[in-house]
Amino acid sequence: MRRLLSAFAHTLVDDPRVAMVTFGVAAGISPAVEAQRRENRRWAAAFIEAFWRRNQSGDEQENGTDYHARAVPTLGGLFDTVSDWRHVADPPRPRTFDDLIRDLTTFMSVVEAGIHARGH
């Protein structure tokens, strides 16, 4: 999971132009650009959902876990974590890329623990 999250984060922060478009600057450009941004987000949520479906346990199959309902807000949490990391000056604090990966990994561990918990 750590390698996947590291690739995700590098994709979003290595090129400042990508980060600007990903985190909302593109929304005001045109309806077509905003539609593409939303399509990209839906694709990313579908990727998470497909990963969880491939790795689901029998309990999750029996309980009818709604992975889509969990994937969309999970993606939002990942994006917000990266966005917050990018704004290290508000409030000022030293943050490394390793800190970001640790935060993303911790977040995903909590989400997955919740999915796998009994009685969800």
pLDDT tens digits, 32-61: 877 877 888 899 899 889 988 888 766 656
> Can you give the chain as a three-state secondary structure string?
CHHHHHHHHHHHHCCHHHHHHHCCHHHHCCHHHHHHHHHHHHHHHHHHHHHHHHCCCHHHHHHCCCHHHHHHHHHHHHHHHHHHHHCCECCECCCCHHHHHHHHHHHHHHHHHHHHCCCC
Asked if residue 8 has pLDDT above 80, the reply is yes
Query: What's the pTM?
Result: 0.75
How many structural domains is the chain composed of?
Answer: 1
Do 107 and 81 form a contact (C-beta atoms < 8 A)? Answer: yes
Q: What is the average pLDDT across 66-76?
A: 89
Phi-psi region of 9 (alpha: psi -120 to 50; beta: other; left: phi over 0): alpha
Domain that holds residue 86: 2-116
